[in-house]
Structure formats: C-alpha cells, structure tokens
C-alpha cells in the first residue's frame, strides 16, 4: 500500500503543483520514500513554487518533448532564474528556510546552491557555481569578467568599507572560491569603473587638512572645522547648512564630504561674535545700558508658563545671542520683558476654588465663560442680554492663568433679569438674585 502511494506521488512529480499536508504546509518527504525519491519530490516542489511565483517562465522558455527547455533559450532561462533567486536571501524569500534544514530536508545538504543546481537541472539548465581562477576571477560565456571582493582590494589597494559602498547595486552572482567555499563574484568592469571614480575624487593635503582646486578654492572635511574651532558635531552641522560642498577624500584617503572653507569659517565667525550672556547673571549687557536675557532665564525668574511667556514676548525687542553654555538662543530686552511679565502677573486673578475675583471694594468679577456655563446659557443668549448694557469689565486672569475679561457679577445679573428664556434654559424671569447666582455658580464650579 505504501509503494502504491509512492508511485502515485512520483507520477505527480511531473505536474507543477506543490505537495502540501492538510494544514497547508509543504511536504518535503513521504513515508516509505527512499532518499533519492524524496530528493525528486523536493525538486518538484521547488520548481512548482518557482512557477507559482513566476508563471510567465513557461511562456518565455518552452520545453521540448524531453521536458527540457529548448537549447537556444537555455542561456536566457538561466539568467532569468539567477536574476530573481540567484542570491540565498532571494531564494529564502521565495521558499522559506525549510529546504535548507538538514534535519527535515537532509537530501538538500543545507546548501542553497545544491538546491538551485539540482532543482533546475532536469530542465537542461546548468546553474552550477563557477569556480574562480587563482586571481579569484571567472569569465562567463559572453566574455564578461567576474571577480571577488578580494581581487579588488588586492589590485586597487582599497579598504573594505570603501569597497563595500562601490559594490552596492553592482550585478553579482555566486561562485566557488579557491578553498571551495561559496563566494560572491561581481561584474569586474562595473566595479573597476566605480573604484576609478573614487580615486579620482579630490583628496585633502594631510599636512594642512585642506584641498585646493584649480581655481584656488579651499575645501575641507567637517573634522577640520571641529578641530580648529573646538565645536561639537551638533553645533557644526548648523554651519554646514546652505554651504557649498563636494564629494572628496580626507587626508588618509577615506571618502567624505568636503565643505567650502571660507563659507563655513564665515558662518562660524558670525556665531562666535554673537553676544554671550554672563555665566553668573544669565544676562548680556550692551554698552552698559541695555540688558538682554534668554527665555529660559525669564521663565525661571517669573515662574510663567511657556505658552503665556510666548504671547507676552511677541512685541519685545530681541537679538540673536548665546546662552551660558554657548548655544545660539534668542535674547530679549530684559527691562521691557520684565515690565510686560510683571503687568501680566499683577492682573486680578479669579480664585482657583470659586472661580470668582473679589476686589478691595468687595465687588465680584467673573469670566463670562464660567457665568454662562453655570446657568446653561448659550453664547448667543448671553450676548443678546449683554448687548447695549452698561456692564463694567476689567482685564484679568482665569483659573488657568490665561488673560480674559472679567465681568462685574452684579451688572450681569441686572442684565439677565427680565430676559426672554426658552423652557430649556435654567434662569426664569425675575427669579435670580446676585446671592442666588453666586450660590449656583459655586455649586457649578464644585461639580
């Protein structure tokens, strides 16, 4: 019975379908199969997975009666396969890691290239790895040379990191190295072109740290300015913005960006000439007359929120300067800033518990918002009853400290009496006294 199942499965090997179990997982072996029979099953699965992903392959590369791709199309078919799954990570993306598990699929020997070569060989394709010569090069049938990274490092005397950048995006394929290990071969002509372009880049003179072009312009890497001006990388990056730059090589030949020396130096000098605050006082005094301070100093001194401070400083004169630690900051006229902030802090502020402000004459003042909310009145209703009324208003601060208009509570109550209210509104005609309004407002604020 087991042998019949085996024969049935072997017949299906010729059909481009993937053998799966009831859970949808790919079956890489069958009970009773020999290793050779399981190998054929695995090959069938690999080809079926490939055709499922690239169904156009059968149309582009037809097969003869022997199930091999017609001879004059085999070279193109090999390139088609290698372009799409010619790297291990590409192959894994297509099939998953299962074919490379020596425990579950031992017949593939855990070798990506063994899988690749064996799976497509029945179609008459030779995807075996090319073996390099003693120079670690290999020449394909079209006369194109391919070489290992070792070949380029040795012949061009180029360091690994720099070479790695040159190899990005270069056509490559797998090969077998001198010791029999798998290596990556790169198109020699393209890599050589890129390396020659690299060596053609302008290089700074290590004795002065600069490169001078034929027009006499001087260029230098970022490290030159860091060393000569004692600036951190973070500060220096600001001075590089908008400055002309070119690709080049530093004093030891590493690839870097070279910046126009006069332009960067000018920006740095402009920064260093900015007025700097006194480390002890936190302020900068100009000609013994005007004093300038940063936003941080004002916040610390007056304990004002950042939002309130921003609105207060809008019209205050300001200059660019440097803080205690040397960072570029905005400095504000200390006298005028302090005056505006003091005026703000001296504004009458409502009680944080009751939401009311009571002045020295025992007059009660309240923001319109809280008064409106306490009685459930709409904004339009409030405005209608306050329009044309003689209501005293002062500028003050609400519970959060925001600048608002404070209305005389007694004046508002007089305006509300006798108003026309809909049934949904909470105030009834002539039913509210100032004391009752006060009580309702207190209850509202406590809720």
pLDDT-derived band at 12 (thresholds 50, 70, 90) equals: very low
pLDDT at 210 over 90: yes
Mean per-residue pLDDT, 395-420: 78
Structure tokens that stand for 255 in this block: 């690839």
What's residue 377's pLDDT? 63
What's residue 431's pLDDT? 44
Q: Which of 28, 47, 25 shows the shortest CA–CA distance to 37? A: 28
Contact 148, 157 (CB under 8 A): no
pLDDT tens, residue by residue, 183-203: 899 999 999 999 999 999 999
- Comparing 3-17, 187-201, 226-240, the range with the smallest average pLDDT is 3-17
Q: Which letter, b or e, does each residue of 417-427 get, where b requires 16 or more Cβ atoms within 10 Å of its Cβ?
A: eebebeeeeeb
Percent residues over pLDDT 90 in the chain: 36
DSSP letter, residue 326: S
HSE (CB half, 13 Å, CA atoms) of 34? 5
- Comparing 36-50, 79-93, 186-200, 311-325, the range with the smallest average pLDDT is 79-93
pLDDT tens, residue by residue, 131-173: 999 999 999 878 999 999 999 999 999 999 999 999 999 988 8
pLDDT-derived band at 328 (thresholds 50, 70, 90) equals: confident
Q: Which of 37, 41, 51 shows the shortest CA–CA distance to 20? A: 41
pLDDT at 7 over 50: no
Residue 285: C-alpha distances to residues 44, 176, 309, 328 (Å): 85, 74, 22, 17
HSE (CB half, 13 Å, CA atoms) of 395? 7
Number of other residues whose CB lies within 10 A of the CB of residue 151:
19
What's residue 402's pLDDT? 86
What's residue 351's pLDDT? 87
Contact 273, 266 (CB under 8 A): no
pLDDT at 379 over 90: no
pLDDT at 5 over 60: no
Helix (H) or strand (E) holding 196: helix 188-199
Compute the distance between CA of residue 82 and CA of residue 11 in angstroms, rounded to an integer.
Answer: 28
HSE (CB half, 13 Å, CA atoms) of 363? 16
Q: Is the Cα dihedral 33, 35, 40, 44 positive or negative?
A: positive
What's residue 15's pLDDT? 42
What's residue 201's pLDDT? 95
Question: In the chain, where are the structural domains located?
Answer: 2-123, 137-199, 211-272, 284-345, 357-446
Contact 130, 140 (CB under 8 A): yes
pLDDT at 426 over 80: no
pLDDT tens, residue by residue, 256-289: 999 999 999 999 998 888 999 988 888 998 776 7
pLDDT-derived band at 437 (thresholds 50, 70, 90) equals: low
Compute the distance between CA of residue 207 and CA of residue 200 in angstroms, rounded to an integer.
Answer: 20
Mean per-residue pLDDT, 330-343: 93
pLDDT-derived band at 4 (thresholds 50, 70, 90) equals: very low
pLDDT at 442 over 70: no
pLDDT-derived band at 13 (thresholds 50, 70, 90) equals: very low
pLDDT tens, residue by residue, 111-124: 887 888 888 999 99
Predicted TM-score of the model (pTM): 0.54
pLDDT-derived band at 1 (thresholds 50, 70, 90) equals: very low
Q: Which of 334, 293, 284, 337 shows the shortest CA–CA distance to 315? A: 337
CA angle 262–267–273, rounded 5-degree value? 120
Coil vs helix vs strand at 200: coil
pLDDT at 2 over 50: no
For the chain, what is the total number of helices (H) and then of strands (E)? Answer: 19, 16
């Amino acid at each position: 019975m087991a042998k019949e199942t085996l024969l049935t499965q072997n017949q299906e090997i010729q059909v481009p379908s993937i053998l799966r179990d009831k859970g949808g997982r790919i079956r890489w072996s069958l009970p009773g199969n020999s290793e050779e029979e399981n190998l054929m099953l695995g090959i069938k699965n690999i080809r079926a997975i490939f055709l499922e992903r690239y169904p156009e392959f059968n149309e582009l590369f037809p097969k003869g009666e022997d199930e091999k791709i017609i001879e004059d199309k085999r070279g193109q078919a090999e390139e088609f396969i290698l372009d799409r799954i010619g790297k291990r990570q590409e192959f894994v993306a297509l099939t998953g890691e299962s074919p490379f598990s020596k425990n579950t699929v031992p017949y593939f020997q855990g070798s990506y290239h063994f899988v690749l070569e064996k799976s497509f060989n029945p179609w008459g394709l030779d995807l075996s790895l090319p073996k390099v010569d003693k120079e670690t090069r290999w020449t394909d049938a079209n006369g194109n040379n391919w070489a290992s990274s070792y070949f380029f490092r040795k012949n061009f005397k180029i360091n690994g990191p720099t070479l790695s950048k040159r190899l990005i995006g270069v056509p490559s394929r797998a090969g077998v190295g001198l010791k029999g290990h798998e290596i990556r071969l790169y198109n020699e002509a393209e890599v050589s072109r890129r390396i020659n372009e690299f060596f053609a880049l302008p290089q700074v003179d290590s004795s002065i740290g600069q490169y001078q072009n034929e027009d006499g312009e001087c260029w230098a890497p970022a490290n030159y300015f860091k060393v000569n001006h004692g600036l951190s990388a973070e500060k220096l990056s600001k001075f590089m913005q908008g400055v002309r730059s070119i690709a080049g090589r530093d004093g030891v030949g590493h690839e870097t960006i070279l910046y126009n020396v006069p332009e960067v130096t000018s920006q740095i000098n402009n920064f260093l000439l900015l007025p700097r605050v006194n480390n002890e006082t936190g302020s900068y005094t100009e000609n013994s007359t005007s004093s300038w301070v940063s936003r941080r100093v004002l916040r610390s001194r007056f304990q004002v929120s950042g939002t309130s401070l921003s609105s207060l400083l809008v019209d205050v004169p300001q200059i660019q300067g440097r803080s205690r630690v040397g960072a570029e900051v905005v400095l504000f006229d200390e006298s005028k800033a302090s005056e505006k902030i003091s005026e703000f802090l001296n504004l009458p502020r409502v009680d944080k518990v009751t939401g009311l402000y009571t002045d020295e004459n025992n007059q009660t003042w309240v923001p319109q918002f809280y008064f409106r909310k306490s009685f459930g009145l709409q904004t339009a209703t409030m405005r209608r009853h306050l329009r044309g009324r003689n209501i005293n208003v002062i500028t003050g601060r609400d519970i959060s400290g925001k600048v608002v208009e404070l209305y005389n509570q007694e004046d508002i109550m007089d305006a509300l009496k006798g108003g026309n209210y809909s049934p949904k509104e909470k105030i009834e005609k002539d039913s509210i006294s100032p004391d009752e309004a006060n009580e309702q407002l207190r209850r509202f604020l406590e809720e």
